[in-house]
Structure 1
Amino acid sequence: MSAAYGRQVVVTGIGVTAPGGPGTKGFWQLLTDGRTATRRISLFEPSPFRSQVAAEVDFDAEACGLGPQEIRRMDRAAQLAVVTAREAAADSGLAFHTLDPGRIGVTIGSAVGATMGLDEEYRTVSDGGRRELVDHEYAVPHLYNYMVPSSFAAEVARAVGAEGPAAVVSTGCTSGLDAVGYATEVIREGAADVMIAGATEAPISPITVACFDAIKATTPRNDDPAHASRPFDASRNGFVLGEGAAVFVLEDGESARRRGAHVYAEVAGYATRSNAFHMTGLRPDGKEMAEAIRVAMAEARVNPEDIDYINAHGSGTKQNDRHETAAFKLSLGEAAYRTPVSSIKSMVGHSLGAVGSIELAASALAMEHHVIPPTANLHTPDPECDLDYTPLTARERRTDTVLSVGSGFGGFQSAVVLARPDRRKR
C-alpha cells in the first residue's frame, strides 16, 4: 500500500542494545566518535576458527532489569529484544496501560533465531557431541522457545502488553528493515495503531562462526580486531560478525501529534525485492537493490536529489560493496556522487538480521542530530567504490531525508526512506 493512501507512520521511540556502549545514547556516542567495538571473541574460545573477531555486546541481563525466570526462559537474542523494547517504550512516552492492547502489535526480525541457546543445549544433550543419540531430559524446560523464533515476538508482546498482530520476520540480513516495513504497513492499513518493531540477533556461537568460515565470508584479520571491519576499503577481506538489537515504537502520525509526542522521523517509503539469482552471490549491476530504492523513494514521494544521506549495507565484502555502489548509481543517477554514504558496520559489526534495525536507528539519530556517522577504517577506497563514503570522521550536515538499504543471503534487497514528517503538506 502506498503511503499516499494509508496513514502516516512515525517513529516516536527508539531503543538500541549494540556493541560499544549501553543504550541508545552510548550507541550514538560510539558512532559519532568513529570508534570501533570489534574485538577478539570472548563468548567462547575462538582459536580453532579462521575468523576470531566479532563485535560483542557487553550485556548483563540482570543489570538490565531481567529477572531470574526471564533469563532462564529466554535465549540471549530474546533477552536483547525485550530489554531494547522496554527502552523504546519508555522513550516514546506512551502510557501503554491506557491503550487498547488489541491495537498494539509487535514485529521482530531475526535471521538465525535462538542460535546461542540451541548451540548450548545441543552440547548439553549430546554430552559435548559425543552422543549420537541425545537425551532430551538434560535440556532446559524451555527448549521449545529456542526452536521457534516466534517466541521473540511473544516475549516482546508480553513485555509491553501487546495483544494485536504479532510476527517474526526472517529474511536473512534484511530482516531488520523488513520488520519495520511490515509493521508500517500494518498501521497504514488500520490493523493496529501502535507497533513495536525492530530486530534482534545473538549469533556469536561456534556453529555460526564455523558456517561463515566455510564460505570465507568473515575476515581473518585476527591480529588487528579494532580495524578488521573495513567497508569500501581496498584492503577489506570479509565482514566482522556482530550482535545486538534495535526496536522502535511506530505510531499513527495523527495520534502522535495529538499527544504531543517527540517524532524522530516518518517511515515514508519501503520496498523489498529478490534477485532470484543465488543464495549468497550478487549480480554486479545492483539492479534489484536499485529497484527497491526506486520504489521506496516513489512511495515516499522524494527524488534522488532529496536524499541527504545513505546508510549503506556496507558489509566489507568486495562483492557487496561494489554491488550496492552500482545500485546507488543506477537508482540515484548523478545525485549518487553528491550524497554522503557510510557504513556503521565498520564500528558495530554485522549482526545479521538485527543490523537493518540498528542501521535504521543510526539513520533516525542522524536526522535528529544532523550528523552523519562515518565509515571507520576507510583509508584507501576501492577504485570501484568511488562515492563519498564519509571516511573516518563524522560530518555535520542538515539531514531531512535518509535512505537505508540492506542486502541478504537468499537474494533479498530492501530499502527504507526515513523523512521529516513536516517536510511537505500531506
Structure 2
Amino acid sequence: MAGRRDTRSVVVTGIGVVAPGGVGTKPFWELLTAGRTATRRISLFDPAQFRSRVAAECDFDPVAAGLGRRQIRAWDRTAQFAVVAATEALADSGVRDGLDPGRTGVMAGTACGMTISLDQEYAVVSDEGRKWLVDAEHGVPYLYDYFLPSSMATELAWLAGAEGPVGVVSTGCTSGIDVVAHAADLIRDGEADVMLAGASDAAISPITVACFDAIKATTPRNDEPESAARPFDRTRNGFALGEGSAFFVLEEGEHARRRGAHIYAEIAGYAARCNAFSMTGLRDDGKELASAITGALDRAKLDPADIDYVNAHGSATKQNDRHETAAFKHSLGQHAYTTPVSSIKSMIGHSLGAICALEIAACALTIEHSVIPPTANLHEPDPECDLDYVPLVAREQRVDVALSVASGFGGFQSAIVLTKAGANT
C-alpha cells in the first residue's frame, strides 16, 4: 500500500463550478481575474432583523442549469449546486465513456448540508414555529434526504455511475480541502482510478445568519455590500457569507495520460492539524496552520522556496488574517515576503465548506493560465499583515506550485499543494 502511494500520482482533469457571479468555470475565472465582487444585500429572504445583511449569492436558475422539475423539487439547493458542478467537471474531463464503475468513487464535502430545505420544512411541520411537537404529516417525502448530507453523495454516485468508494467529509470550513485530499489518497492507495470530488454549500438562510451574528464573525458593513469583505485591510470587520460548489475529476496520473486527458494540475501534498484550543478562537502565532503547511510541503517533497502562490483563507476577521500572516512567516520563512498571496473570499464571499473547493479551482486555473487573482477591496493594508496580498488587480505570473490553506471553527487547519503536472518530479 505504501509503495502505491509513492508511485501513483493524482491529477485534476476536470473542473466544474457554481459560484457567485456566474455558473460555470469560465464566468468564475473571469470574475476573479477582473477583481469584481459578487457581494450584495441578501435577497434569498428578508434580512432586515439581522446584524449582517450582506452575502455573495449565486444567480442560479436550476432549469437553465439543466435540472428537471422533479430534481428541483426533490433536491436542496446544496445538492442542486453539487450536481451541476459535478456534471460540468465530468464533461470537462471527457472521462465518462471509459469509466470502470468499480474503480470510480465519489467524495462530497459540506459544512452545513441541506440547510435551506431543513429551515423551510421545519417552518412547515412546526406551523411557523408555533408547535413544539411538530406534525410530520405536513413534511415533504424528501425530508429525510435533507436531514442526511450523504444523500448528496448518493446522487453524485448515481450521476457518475460510481460503484467504488463513496462518502462525505464535513470538517466545517476546511471541508473543501479535506475532501479533495481524501479522494486523492484513495487513488494513491489503489482503491480507485477516478474520483469525483468536491464540496457544496448553500446555507444563506435565517438560521445560518443568526449563528454568525451571535459571534459577530460576519461583516455589518450593510451600506457598502460590494466592498464589505476586506481581507488583510485595516478596516476589515468580518466576512461576507457566500454559497456555491466546485467539483473535480481526479485521476491516477497514468490513467489520465493513457487516454490523453488534459491535466490542470497535480495534487502533490496535503496535511491537516487541529489547534485543540477554541471553537472559534485562533492563536496569533499561527503555529498549527504553519505545521499543516510544512506537512503538506514535506509530503509533496518541496521546499518553502518552491511555492509560487498562496491562496489564503483570508476571511477578513481580525484574528484570522493575523493568524495566517504569522503562519506563512513560520512555515515559509523569508520566502513569505516575496510570495504573492491573495484571498478570493473578497470577491465571492465565504461559502463555508464549499469555499476551499472553489479555492482549489482557483489554484488549478492560476497554474493553467499564469494569472494570480487579486484580493479585492484591499485599499488600506493592515500593518500587521505585511505580505504581498496582490491588492485589487490580477497579476500575470507563471505559477508552477500553488499552496491553498484553510482555518475552520473547531480549530481545523488544512493545507494542500497543487503543482503543474510533473513540476515536482
TM-score by length of 2: 0.98
Q: Report how far residue 4 of structure 1 moved.
A: 6.2
Give the conservation status (yes or no) of the 8 Å contact 1:2–1:299: no
Q: Report how far residue 22 of structure 1 moved.
A: 2.2
What pairs with 1:9-408 in structure 2 (closer than 5 Å)? 9-94=10-95, 96-408=96-408
Q: Report how far residue 99 of structure 1 moved.
A: 2.1
SS at match of 2:248: strand
CA distance in 1, matches of 2:85, 2:67: 11
Q: Report how far residue 3 of structure 1 moved.
A: 8.6
Q: Report how far residue 127 of structure 1 moved.
A: 1.2
Q: Quick one: percent identity of the two aligned structures? A: 68
Structure 2 runs not aligned, ≥5 long: none
Q: Report how far residue 97 of structure 1 moved.
A: 4.2
1:223 is aligned with what amino acid? D
Give the conservation status (yes or no) of the 8 Å contact 2:11–2:267: yes
SS at match of 1:282: coil
SS at match of 2:14: strand
SS at match of 2:37: coil
SS at match of 2:167: strand
Does the alignment pair 1:410 with 2:410?
yes
SS at match of 1:15: strand
CA distance in 1, matches of 2:4, 2:319: 33
Q: Report how far residue 249 of structure 1 moved.
A: 0.2
CA distance in 2, matches of 1:305, 1:352: 30
The one-character-per-residue Cα deviations of 1:93-125 (angstroms, maximum 9, x if unpaired) are 11x243221111001110111000100000111
CA distance in 2, matches of 1:316, 1:16: 23
The one-character-per-residue Cα deviations of 1:325-370 (angstroms, maximum 9, x if unpaired) are 1000000000000000000000000000000000000000000000
Give the conservation status (yes or no) of the 8 Å contact 2:4–2:190: no
Structure 1 runs not aligned, ≥5 long: none
Q: Report how far residue 164 of structure 1 moved.
A: 0.9
CA distance in 1, matches of 2:25, 2:112: 24
The one-character-per-residue Cα deviations of 1:146-198 (angstroms, maximum 9, x if unpaired) are 11111111111111111110111000100000000000000000000000000
Q: Report how far residue 321 of structure 1 moved.
A: 0.4
The one-character-per-residue Cα deviations of 1:239-263 (angstroms, maximum 9, x if unpaired) are 0000000000000000111111000
Q: Report how far residue 15 of structure 1 moved.
A: 0.4
The one-character-per-residue Cα deviations of 1:43-75 (angstroms, maximum 9, x if unpaired) are 000001000000000011111111122111111
Relative distance call for 1:4 and 1:297 in structure 2 (3 A) is farther
Give the conservation status (yes or no) of the 8 Å contact 2:110–2:354: yes
CA distance in 2, matches of 1:421, 1:371: 17
CA distance in 1, matches of 2:182, 2:35: 31
SS at match of 1:246: strand
SS at match of 2:22: coil
CA distance in 2, matches of 1:376, 1:310: 15
SS at match of 1:28: helix
SS at match of 1:256: helix
Relative distance call for 1:279 and 1:6 in structure 2 (3 A) is farther
Give the conservation status (yes or no) of the 8 Å contact 1:18–1:245: yes
Q: Report how far residue 6 of structure 1 moved.
A: 4.2
SS at match of 1:220: coil
Give the conservation status (yes or no) of the 8 Å contact 1:8–1:252: yes
1:78 is aligned with what amino acid? A
- Report how many residues are paired: 424
Give the conservation status (yes or no) of the 8 Å contact 1:55–1:243: yes
1:184 is aligned with what amino acid? A
CA distance in 1, matches of 2:398, 2:98: 37
Relative distance call for 1:27 and 1:3 in structure 2 (3 A) is farther
The one-character-per-residue Cα deviations of 1:197-235 (angstroms, maximum 9, x if unpaired) are 000000000000001001100000000000000000000
CA distance in 2, matches of 1:220, 1:32: 26
TM-score by length of 1: 0.98
Give the conservation status (yes or no) of the 8 Å contact 2:300–2:424: no
Supply the RMSD in Å over aligned alpha carbons: 1.0
Relative distance call for 1:375 and 1:142 in structure 2 (3 A) is same
2:117 is aligned with what amino acid? G
